Amino acid sequence: MKERTVILKKNRDKPIRQRHHWIFSGAVQSLPDFEDGDILPVTSSAGEFLGSAYFNRKSAIIGRMLCFDGTPPLKSIEQRLLVAIALRRDLVEPASTAQRLVNGEGDGLPGLVVDRYGDVLVIQVATLGMEKLKPVILGHLISTLSPRSIYEKSDLPIRREEGLPEFEGHLYGEDVESVEIQEYGLRFLVEFRRSQKTGFYLDLREMRRLVRSIAKGRRVLNCFCYTGGFSVAALAGGATFVDSVDSSEPALSLAKRNLALNGFPGIENRLVVADAFEFLRRDLPLYDFIILDPPAFAKKKMDVVPACRGYKDINRLALSKMGPRGLLLTLSCSHFVDEPLFQQVVFQAAAEAARGVRIIQRHHLALDHPVNLYHPESEYLKGFLLYVE
């Protein structure tokens, strides 16, 4: 029997030759009979073998490459998992007991995120192809890492485009509600149910470290604080006090526990359930250090214009509450607002607030969030540390 093969159109195979993971439906010349989620070999129109991908007709990204050579796909998945885990062991484990072990395409495993919180793993599956591979992935994770528990947090709206429902639940081992992690000597509680992302913003690890190193003696405002990561970091670095603002009550109640866990006696820290835009319009004392880490305002390309308006407003409002020689750490996690555009928006905010502003640092994504050079679409976070005259 002839092997089932996906053939790409002439002149449409260049991205795949350049190790990009996505095959758009428009690049496909012919598909064999297959079931959505199957892994199939991929060839050029001239019949040259290019690698293997899983396919789903329901998605505009019809295929996602698992390997770019003749390695059997399941073998390749195992190898990529081992390489991903080794990278974290070498570079991230000394800093924290919590790490992103697998960062999707960034680790050559499209549609999969695996985060480790001590001996608990949390996985996120975005695609049907990866959903079908879940038993294989779980098998490797269990045999390599012996976790106490595995939880799945696939509450991702993009799953609908794959014909999958959103899903969240306990998968393996003990049913654990929360764990305590350590990062550069600081302690944080992570809850899995009711959480955002997989529980904690691991991507901000190096930014928390930066905040800690420059917070001494400063009056700090942490807007969009979630469970208080930056608040704890600032206080550990000697901040005079921190006001923490978030619209989510449950997030703030965990922030309160995280502040208590790290013990900052005698320091009065306010936790405010509020819309950050509304809070910044209140009559407030001036701050010396403001952190703005809003949710992604642009979830789709068509949201970019209103999103930029939101970023400009929140940055202008923050600048209006800033004392002289202040610091503003401003972040954006909207993939569609790239760094030059975000810089432009912050420039407009500074001009409207009539403040002298200079960039003194650009953001650093934590080491466990690799961006595949061949697949820059996984880039999303950008930010500036600004010195405000």
**Could you give the residue numbers annotated as active site?**
333
Mark residues 150-189: x for contact with ligand SAH by CB under 6 A, - for none.
----------------------------------------
Q: What is the 3-state secondary structure (H, E, C) of 196-244?
A: CCCCCCHHHHHHHHHHHHHCCCCEEEEECCCCCHHHHHHHHCCCCEEEE
Considering only 150-158, 187-195, 289-297, 379-387, which stretch makes contact with ligand SAH by CB under 6 A? 289-297
Using CB under 6 A, pick the residue from 28, 204, 349, 366 that binds ligand SAH.
204
Residue 129 CB neighbour total at 10 angstroms: 24
Q: Which of the ranges 225-233, 334-342, 353-361, 371-379 carries the binding residues for ligand SAH, by CB under 6 A? A: 225-233
Q: What are phi and psi of 383, to 5 degrees?
A: -175, 160
Residues 290 to 309: which contact ligand SAH by CB under 6 A? 293-295
Site for ligand SAH contains 226 (CB under 6 A): yes
Q: How far is CA 334 from the centre of its chain?
A: 10
Hey, what amino acid is at 290?
Answer: I
User: Which of 247, 262, 320, 361 forms a contact with ligand SAH (CB under 6 A)?
Assistant: 247
Pairing of strands 357-362, 270-273: unpaired
Q: In this structure, are strands 61-67 and 22-24 parallel, antiparallel, or unpaired?
A: antiparallel
Nearer to ligand SAH, 139 or 295 (CB): 295
Asked whether 345 and 314 are in contact (CB, 8 A), the reply is no
**Among the candidate windows 48-56, 173-181, 226-234, 374-382, which touches ligand SAH by CB under 6 A?**
226-234
| Residue 27: how many other CB atoms lie within 10 Å | 18
Residue 379 Cβ, how far from ligand SAH at the closest point, in Å? Answer: 18
Figure out which of the listed residues 224, 287, 311, 336 binds ligand SAH, where binding follows CB under 6 A.
224
Under rule CB under 6 A, residue 311 binds ligand SAH = no
Residue among 227, 231, 278 at smallest CA distance from 248: 227
Nearer to ligand SAH, 161 or 303 (CB): 303
Residue of 93, 174, 275, 389 that binds ligand SAH (CB under 6 A): 275
Residue 70: φ, ψ to 5°: -85, 5
Q: Is 233 in the site for ligand SAH (CB under 6 A)?
A: no
Of the candidate residues 51, 106, 199, 229, the single one contacting ligand SAH (CB under 6 A)? 229
CB 364 within 8 A of CB 94: no
- Pick the stretch among 1-9, 118-126, 227-235, 236-244 that binds ligand SAH (CB under 6 A): 227-235
Residue 121 CB, shortest distance to ligand SAH, in Å, is 20
- What is the C-alpha separation between 47 and 115, in angstroms, rounded? 39
Residue (33 or 249) nearer to ligand SAH, CB: 249
Residue 229 CB, nearest approach to ligand SAH (Å): 4
Torsion sign, CA atoms 375, 380, 381, 383: positive
Question: Is the Cβ of residue 44 or residue 244 nearer to ligand SAH in the bound state?
Answer: 244
Which residues have CB under 8 Å from 279's CB, separation 6+?
223, 245, 272
The residue (of 85 and 156) whose beta carbon lies closer to ligand SAH is 156
Alpha-carbon distances of 183 from 97, 207, 253, 255, 271, rounded to whole Å:
7, 12, 20, 15, 22
Q: Which is nearer to ligand SAH, 61 or 296 (CB)?
A: 296
Rule CB under 6 A: say whether 201 interacts with ligand SAH.
yes
In this structure, how many other beta carbons lie within 10 angstroms of the beta carbon of residue 75?
10
Residue 230 engages ligand SAH in binding (rule: CB under 6 A): yes
| Pair type for strands 219-223 and 49-55 | unpaired
- Residue 295 vs 376, nearer CB to ligand SAH: 295
Closest approach, Cβ 215 to ligand SAH, in A, equals 14
Residues in touch with ligand SAH (CB under 6 A): 196, 201, 204, 224-227, 229-230, 245-248, 251, 275-276, 293-295
